[in-house]
Amino acid sequence: MPSILPLCTLTPPSASRLWSSHPHPTLPLIATASSDKTVRLYSLASLDLESTITGGHKRSIRSCAWKPSSGVKSGESVLATGSFDASCGVWRRWEQGTGIGKLAKGLEKGKGTEWEGLGAEGEPEEDERDFTRGLAGGAEEEDEDEDEWRFAVILDGHDSEIKSLAFSPTAPLLATCSRDKSVWIWEELEDDNFETVAVLQEHDGDVKCVAWSPVEELLVSGSYDNAIRVWREDVDDWACCGLLEGHSGTVWWVEFEGADRFGKVGAGASDSLSAEQQILLEQRKAAGPRIISCSDDLTIRIWRRVPKEIKEQPTGQGKMPSIWKNRDFEEEWVQECVLPKAHERAVYAVSWSRKTGRVVSTGSDGKVVVYEERWKGGRNGEGDSAMADASAVSGRVEGRKDEATGSSTEWMVVAEVENAHDVFEVNHVVWAPRADKGKIGEDEEVIVTTGDDGEVKVWLLNDD
Amino acid sequence: MSAILSADDLNDFISPGVACIKPVETLPLHKPSPSSNPYEVTTEETVHAENPPPAQISLTDCLACSGCVTSAEAVLVSLQSHSEVLETVGRCRELRPEWLGGAESEGNGMVNGQGDGVQEKIFIASISPQTRASLAATYGVSEREAGYMIDQLLSGPYGLRAGGAHGSGFTWVLDTNVMREACLVAAADEAQQMLDDREAGLKRPVLTSACPGWVCYAEKTHPHVLPHLSKLKSPQAMTGTLVKSVLARKYGIPPEKIWHMAVMPCFDKKLEASRIELTSHAWAGEEAERVRDVDCVITARELLMLAESRNISFPCLPRTPLSKTFRPPFPDPAINRLLFPPTRKPKRSTASFEPSAIGTSDGYLHHILLTQQSRHPSSSIKVHRGRNADVSDYSVLSAEGVEVFRAARYYGFRNIQNLVRRLKPAKVSRMPGATRRPAGGRLRKPAGGGEAEYAYVEVMACPGGCTNGGGQIKVGDVMTLRQGGTGMSNGGDQEIVPAQKEWLARVDEAYWSAESGDEGVDESVDEDGDHDMTNADTSNGLTNVNANGSHANGDGVGDIIDGIDRSRVKAFFDRWAEATGVEYEKLVFTTFRAVESDVGKAKPVGDMERVAGLAVQVGGGW
């Protein structure tokens, strides 16, 4: 039976509330948005504070987003910050000093991929910087301390607090959402030259969260109006192509399933699957990554797209169709299931592991809960016993089965911990690659929680 | 953009519109007592849980976001609704020109013809071309027929005059296109003036100020662009000034005796009509009572509601021109000739461009480009479509291929964002201490360095321009309307964008059909079968230059540009100033000002006083 074990609290903690933490796409770094108007960058290798971004915003930084590595110059990190001051800042830093140099060192030691060799020793990085200086962006950068975060551009436009922001992994697009009820999409035409390409105003309330699909230019947003909307570019403008209704409270977080995960269940081995299970997986592949959402209504829901069928055009005899619908543009999303109820108060965040497909949630009640999707009926080696174990411990085996699916999988709670941040609310949870000394396997992950107590905590999911 | 608001929605209190961009957070005047913890999330929850006090958004906040008004604005804007039209037309007796003294009579126009104490007013309406296009597309008639139907409704024997306590109707129904031509010529001159004298006057680029949604947004949110705004009045405002100034002077009556209604594609035009800058004080001095130049703005949808309220079936109205007996001549012959041209000539020759080049918003940019082109013999206009259909870039290239003039079109909120951001003066970063390098310079350069090079930008708040205004008939209502009802169910389901686009294309087509004169030049035959005779009238002193001639005159520009006779328009301006004794500048220009929103600030007075104060201020008349 898995359990959630505390690994450590990143040091030093902040004196004020922390909102959310966002792992760097390649380096063992995590950026934590703080209500003291700063971003704290912690090393997941040394588990210490590595640097701080200050001086940019006038109010709380609510969220931040790393530009995907595909979109940046090699060796540079780009971080966008979304603040309650209604602006979004973009920051840059050359990582040669900390990244490439360390990488070289890490590789020497045979430690593998880019970020893994980094900083576990907690050494000062001065030595490495010199031999990479030549790569660090040319003469005009000479006077700059390369370790330093450089403010690059500020994006104004929102009328109120920015709640969340996200870079598209498939296109040079940044989405921001705000208490002004709008979602903005910005295109980066060239470095730091952003243009507003869309202002989407269909939500009736504060927009809490935005997230991009990992495989296509598809954006999802969750709002105080209890709705989730899916957005896509039509002929000339972005528009809402899907409305996901079901939550009865604020939707605090939405997220897509990982690109490598959809079409898999559990460990993903497909050799011993029944025909029925094979069909389900095929259907999921056709539908694309699912969406997960969590809400003030205490539920966590999973939504899936209904794959398009080719339909004949209605053949009206010169009549104006009574309902004007563009079936090519609209998407139909259905609720696939509700995860087993584990929270007693609002669920603020969920994170869907890109590696294992597990989901971790947290919220106002201070709990951290891990869920897993399994085949029903104990096939595929997962076994009835595992289910029974889980049920014995959690007492909550399965979520509400949804008619829409007739699914042959079910979600169950596999582990949970209470009072993760003592008596404080936990604002955010995310899976991150493990990078500290204790790391065992390549794909090992940690759970990172961010709380009102100013602490960022790292947890291990012990599978024993 | 303000598609949500309609007079139907107006009641004593309206919560912020669905897409209101005003921060509600600053509104509560009292902190929720139990939770003194300034936990940002919690505060919001509590605010929403307790019934918040009505959002206070001042009149000068814009509707551009999508239409949110509150009690004060609701009262003011509800003064401009179809029911207000009904009430006024029903209550007041129509003041017919024939009852008034002749031109320039001294003061005796005040005499009540019947002596029974019933208020009397001259009723006059002006109709935007976009409204006609919307109705034309709705009922499958031509744009011109739609115009005739509106004339019939407002002035004709089967229209408003068939009912009401006094059988009152509108004495004149004008086409705002007439004043639009004047606006276009003045706009071209204004742009040229900016080029000639870079020190004085407007900042480059000049930005269109005819869209009230855009103007309000700029005044509220981006004061730095105000020095760029064209000082010209919009066609609605200029028409208002024209009718009030000329009629008041000619009949010797105070302007409040003249009731001017405009039918517009856009709800924000109601707010424009409420602007303090657009009242009689601007042109008649401040001694007399302040009277608005436009008393009431309604939209196409409200026009249909107006008809329905009087049990008039709009689609059943005659699609023929109204007999002359219902339209006395405007008291100034020269202006009469301008307002009611003898034949509807094709406004614009489309030989060298697609009608869509005019755009859907009165064609400011197009006219300015053609004016610039005429200044440079053998020059050509190059169009470069921007990243979406609502942005384009235009260059006038000399015969040698050198760019002599650059302009652009920016429609829609998302594109306006990019424009205002780039017009922002370079300043030290808001992020001090973040870097040793100032944020300007290298990091802030605009894409292609374009915006500062523009001499003129046509800016409209609505994507797709004015034919897509919030007051236009919604595609969801069309079927019901055609079946006879008015189907005003607040637009129905408007979520499906592509359908709306297809519908828009039809409205645009109707709009351009009028622009390009595709309907052909008609010998307009009125109901009585008489041919229009006005073209024989040459006694008005305005020279009618051969429409094909393009001889250069003093200002180095051809006379006929874009189908508009410049010298005729200039003669009109002179005539107008002469007839009213008011300077040209006071008649055609207006001003803009940065607006401090009073949202969230301590209210000095109670709601009622504030509403009353505002109403008095703008001549709301209650």
Q: What is the pLDDT of residues B15-71, one digit of tens each?
A: 344 334 444 333 334 444 444 444 444 344 333 434 444 433 333 343 334 334 444
List chain A residues with CB under 8 Å of B429: 151, 154
Cα angle for residues B390, A168, B436 (degrees, 5° grid): 90
Q: CA-to-CA distance for A253 and A210, rounded, in angstroms?
A: 8
Q: DSSP characters for A261-319?
A: TTT--TT---TT--HHHHHHHHHHHHH-S-EEEEETTS-EEEEEEPPPPP-PPP--SSP
Mutate to test the interface with B, among A91, A196, A203, A223 (most CBs of B within 10 A): A196
| Subunit contact A325:B499, Cβ cutoff 8 A | yes
Q: CA distances (Å), B235 to each of B60, B187, B269, B472, in order?
A: 20, 11, 11, 18
Q: Higher pLDDT residue, B170 or B439?
A: B170
**A182:B19 CB<8 A:** yes
**pLDDT for the residue B232:** 95
Contact list in B for residue A195 (CB cut-off 8 A) is 387, 418, 447
pLDDT band at A410 (very low <50, low <70, confident <90, very high): very high
Assign B55 to helix, strand or coil: coil
Confidence (pLDDT) at B105? 43
Task: Give A399's pLDDT tier (boundaries 50, 70, 90).
Answer: very low
Kindly determine whether residue B432 and residue A55, on different chains, have CB atoms separated by under 8 Å: yes
pLDDT class for B538, splitting at 50, 70, 90? very low
Query: To the nearest whole angstrom, how far is the Cα of B380 from the nearest Cα of chain A?
Result: 28
Q: What is the pLDDT of residues B217-262, one digit of tens each?
A: 888 888 899 999 999 999 999 999 999 999 999 898 999 999 999 9
Element (H, E) at A208: strand A207-212
Distance (Å, rounded) from C-alpha B172 to C-alpha B18?
A: 38
Mean pLDDT of B586-600: 75
Residue B484's pLDDT band, with cuts at 50, 70 and 90, is low
- Residue A220 predicted with pLDDT over 80: yes
Provide, as residue numbers in chain B, all residues whose Cβ is less than 8 Å from the Cβ of A345.
Answer: none
- Residue A100: what pLDDT? 43
* A189 CB within 8 Å of a chain B CB: yes
Closest partner residue to A239 (CB to CB) among B20, B475, B497 is B497
Q: In total, how many domains does chain A have?
A: 1
Chain-wide mean pLDDT for chain B? 74
Q: Rank B21-35, B188-202, B205-219 by mean pLDDT and report only the highest.
A: B205-219
* Residue A67: inside a domain: yes
- Is A351 domain-assigned? no
Confidence of residue B561 (pLDDT cuts 50, 70, 90): confident
Q: Who contacts B192 (Cβ-Cβ below 8 Å, separation ≥6)? A: B371, B372
Find chain B residues with C-beta within 8 A of A329's C-beta.
497-498
Q: Measure in Å the smallest separation between the Cα of B404 and chain A Cα atoms.
A: 27
What is residue A206's predicted lDDT score, i.e. its pLDDT? Answer: 95
Residue A340 has pLDDT above 90, yes or no: yes
In this model, does residue B341 exceed pLDDT 50? yes
How far is B515 from chain A, CA to nearest CA, in Å?
26
Say if CB A75 and CB A114 are below 8 A apart.
Answer: no
- What's the one-letter identity of residue B100? L
At A84, which CATH number? Answer: 2.130.10.10
- The verdict on a CB contact (< 8 Å) between A201 and B19 is yes
Q: Which residue type occupies B185?
A: V
Å between A281 CA and nearest CA of chain B = 32
pTM of the model: 0.75
The residue ranking higher by pLDDT, A89 or A134, is A89
Q: Does A282 reside within a domain?
A: yes
Residues of B in contact with A330 (CB under 8 A): 496
Q: Which residues contact A340 (CB under 8 A, 6 or more apart)?
A: A371, A394, A396, A397, A398, A399, A411, A412, A413
Q: Is residue A137 part of a domain?
A: no
Determine the distance in angstroms separating the CA of A144 from the nearest CA of chain B, rounded to an integer. Answer: 8
Report the alpha-carbon distance of residue B257 to residue B298 in Å, rounded.
20
CB proximity A332 to B under 8 Å: no
> Is A357 part of any domain?
no
Chain A residues lying within 8 Å of B47, measured CB to CB: none
DSSP string of A3-47, one letter each residue: EEEEEEE-BSPPSS-EEEEEE-SSSSEEEEEETTS-EEEEETTT-
Neighbours of B27 (CB within 10 A): 17
Is residue A4 within 8 Å of residue A449, measured between CB atoms? no
- For A150, the closest chain B residue by CA position comes to B435
Cα separation, A360 vs A347, in Å, equals 11
pLDDT band at B72 (very low <50, low <70, confident <90, very high): low
| Alpha-carbon Rg for chain B in angstroms | 25
Q: Nearest CB to A153: which of B415, B443, B501?
A: B443
CA pair distance A81, A83, nearest whole angstrom: 6
Test mutation, A63, A81, A181, chain B, max B CBs within 10 A: A181
Q: Count H helices, E strands: chain A?
A: 4, 28
Closest-CA residue to A232 (of A158, A156, A168):
A168
User: What token pair was written down for A253?
Assistant: 């977080």
Q: Which residue has the higher pLDDT, B148 or A129?
A: B148
Give me the mean pLDDT over the A46-67 stretch.
94
Q: Which amino acid is at B255?
A: P
Model pLDDT, residue B348: 53
**pLDDT tens digits for range B294-324:** 999 999 999 999 999 999 999 999 999 988 7
Gap from B477 CA to chain A (nearest CA, Å): 10
CB A177 within 8 A of CB A209: yes
Catalogue the E-assigned strands of B512-576. Answer: 560-561, 564-565
Look at A87 and A101; give whichever has higher pLDDT: A87
* Mean pLDDT calculated for residue range B81-96: 89
Of the candidates A154, A160, A202, the beta carbon closest to that of B430 is on: A154
Q: Which domain holds residue A50?
A: 19-102+147-309+328-342
Least confident of A78-92, B353-367, B380-394: B353-367
Residue A429 belongs to a domain: no
- Residue A281 near residue A270 (C-beta atoms within 8 A): yes
Residue pair B264/B471 in contact by the 8 Å Cβ criterion: yes
- Rounded Cα distance, A461 and A442, in Å: 15
CA A98, distance to chain mean position in Å, is 25
A443 falls within a domain: no
Q: How many contacts, defined by CB atoms under 8 Å, are there between A and B?
A: 133
> Residue B376 contacts by C-beta under 8 Å, 6 or more apart in sequence?
B396, B398, B399, B404
Task: Please say if the pLDDT value at position A133 is more than 50.
Answer: no
Residue A449 lies in a domain: no
User: Residue B443's pLDDT is what?
Assistant: 33
